[in-house]
């Protein structure tokens, strides 16, 4: 931790800070510059220490040196984590594709789309049974009946089921049906939920919050990992910026950046990331070229009749064409895709 003192800091204030650093269990190194004094504190950077030292009047700023996440860090585990859940494998050269409707709507719909995405090359089925909706008046999902239909679709196609869990007391229920628990973007910092899924041994797909930094994203993963569940898939799904021509801004540099920082696999959601179906094929291809370990894509037999998210949903035909391009790009990248 680097503590930059104000130019006006007296020797007494500097001495006080040196003692404070020692009290905090770190070793102070004092560097007297022309304009100001800097104290480098080595040793464990206990969480909260930065804010604490910044609260001292004579301090200009405090700069941490170490990353605050540990288990998620590539420094602790250099080799990539591979997450396997039934038919889905993600990581270390194997690309997984999770496809399906935003919401489970009916048996006919989910059975039909499951078969279609499987044929096109998907390796898992997505579908929302519990739906977080901005408005209390919007369709909130089929709930347990939706989970049952997802399980039936798995039975019929062999596809692993990825579905969202929204609150701690649903975790047991959703675990009974799902192969992968999805944590939605709005819940990325719902810590009780993170701990609850961390206590299971079901793999988790953790979506990045729309204004989460990389550090917050990895610390959210750390909440899950710290409970003992090591099967976490990170998902970039777009961030909120001043851009309004797309629903969110999809920053694909997340993929190579996270690759340097963590061993966890990274998938991309071009459907939410753009909000516009016509942009999804290009951004799916771009995600694979950027090095993603997988995709999660919304597909519906008839997008304009979908109960939610129709505008960003591919038809089965568009999904199949997208898969063909992605497969060829995966090959260029030296990766395996079904």
Within 154-173, the residues that bind its own copies by CB under 8 A are: 166-169
Task: Report how many residues bind its own copies under the rule CB under 8 A.
Answer: 108
Residue with tokens 């190194």: 29
Nearer to its own copies, 160 or 277 (CB): 277
Nearer to its own copies, 12 or 136 (CB): 136
Q: Which two tokens stand for residue 305?
A: 């009749």
Q: Which of 236, 248, 250 is nearest to 295 (CA)?
A: 236
Give strand pairing partners of 3. 39, 62
Nearer to its own copies, 80 or 257 (CB): 257
The burial of 34, by beta-carbon neighbours within 10 Å (0-12 exposed, 13-18 middle, 19 or more buried), is given as exposed
Among 10, 15, 25, 54, binds its own copies (CB under 8 A): 54
Please compute, for residue 49, the number of CA atoms within 13 A of its CA located in the half-sphere on the CB side.
Answer: 23
The burial of 110, by beta-carbon neighbours within 10 Å (0-12 exposed, 13-18 middle, 19 or more buried), is given as buried
Binding mask 58-77 for its own copies (x = CB under 8 A): -----x-xx-xx-----x--
Q: Is 93 in the site for its own copies (CB under 8 A)?
A: no
Q: Is 79 in the site for its own copies (CB under 8 A)?
A: no
Residue with tokens 């094929």: 281
Q: Is 216 in the site for its own copies (CB under 8 A)?
A: yes
Q: Is 187 in the site for its own copies (CB under 8 A)?
A: yes
The burial of 214, by beta-carbon neighbours within 10 Å (0-12 exposed, 13-18 middle, 19 or more buried), is given as middle
**DSSP per-residue codes, 128-165:** BSS---SSTTS----THHHHHHHHHHHHHH--EEEEE-
Among 143, 249, 320, 321, binds its own copies (CB under 8 A): 249
Q: Which span (118-126, 143-151, 156-164, 322-330) binds its own copies, by CB under 8 A?
A: 322-330
Q: Is 92 in the site for its own copies (CB under 8 A)?
A: no
Nearer to its own copies, 159 or 232 (CB): 232
Question: Starting at the edge strand that comes first in sequence, how are the strands of the sheet with 27-32 ordered?
Answer: 27-32, 37-42, 2-5, 59-63
Nearer to its own copies, 159 or 275 (CB): 275
Compute the least distance from the CB of residue 116 to its own copies, in Å: 17
Nearer to its own copies, 35 or 79 (CB): 35
CA-CA distances (angstroms) from residue 132 to 184, 244, 304? Answer: 8, 22, 20
Among 36, 77, 143, 335, binds its own copies (CB under 8 A): 36
**Rounded to an integer, what distance in angstroms lies between the CA atom of residue 294 and that of residue 180?**
14
Among 190, 262, 271, 322, binds its own copies (CB under 8 A): 190
Q: Is 253 in the site for its own copies (CB under 8 A)?
A: yes
**What phi, psi does 157 have (nearest 5°)?**
-115, -20
Nearer to its own copies, 86 or 132 (CB): 132
Q: Is 317 in the site for its own copies (CB under 8 A)?
A: no
SS3 13: helix
Q: Is 25 in the site for its own copies (CB under 8 A)?
A: no
**Rounded to an integer, what distance in angstroms lies between the CA atom of residue 42 and that of residue 28?**
7
Q: Is 201 in the site for its own copies (CB under 8 A)?
A: no
Among positions 119-148, residues that touch its own copies (CB under 8 A) are 132-139
Q: Which span (90-98, 174-182, 207-215, 228-236) binds its own copies, by CB under 8 A?
A: 207-215
Q: Is 219 in the site for its own copies (CB under 8 A)?
A: yes
Among 10, 25, 31, 107, binds its own copies (CB under 8 A): 31
């Amino acid at each position: 931790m680097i503590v930059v003192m104000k130019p006006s800091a007296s020797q007494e204030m500097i001495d006080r800070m040196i003692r404070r650093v020692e009290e905090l269990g770190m070793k102070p190194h004092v560097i007297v510059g022309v304009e100001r004094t800097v104290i480098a504190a080595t040793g464990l950077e206990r969480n909260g220490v930065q804010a604490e030292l910044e609260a001292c009047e004579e301090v200009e700023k405090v700069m941490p040196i170490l990353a605050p996440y540990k288990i998620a860090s590539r420094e602790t585990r250099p080799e990539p984590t591979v997450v396997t859940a039934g038919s889905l494998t993600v990581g270390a050269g194997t690309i997984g594709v999770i496809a399906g409707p935003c919401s489970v709507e009916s048996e006919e719909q989910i059975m039909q789309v499951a078969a279609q995405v499987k044929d096109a090359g998907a390796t898992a089925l997505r579908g929302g049974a519990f739906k977080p909706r901005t408005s209390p008046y919007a369709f909130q999902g089929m709930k347990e009946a939706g989970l049952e239909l997802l399980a039936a679709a798995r039975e019929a196609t062999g596809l692993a089921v990825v579905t969202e869990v929204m609150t701690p007391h649903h975790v047991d229920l959703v675990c009974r049906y799902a192969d992968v628990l999805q944590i939605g973007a709005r819940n990325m910092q719902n810590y009780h939920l993170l701990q609850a899924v961390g206590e299971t041994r079901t793999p988790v797909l953790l979506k990045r919050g729309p204004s989460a930094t990389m550090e917050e994203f990895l610390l959210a993963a750390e909440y899950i990992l710290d409970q003992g569940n090591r099967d976490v898939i990170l998902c970039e799904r777009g961030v909120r910026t001043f851009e309004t021509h797309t629903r969110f801004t999809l920053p694909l540099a997340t993929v190579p950046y996270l690759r340097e920082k963590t061993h966890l696999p990274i998938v991309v959601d071009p459907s939410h990331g753009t909000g516009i179906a016509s942009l999804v094929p290009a951004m799916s291809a771009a995600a694979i070229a950027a090095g993603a370990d997988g995709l999660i894509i919304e597909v519906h037999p008839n997008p304009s009749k979908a109960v939610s998210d129709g505008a960003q949903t591919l038809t089965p035909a568009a999904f199949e064409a997208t898969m063909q391009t992605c497969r060829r790009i995966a090959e260029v990248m030296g990766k395996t895709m079904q």
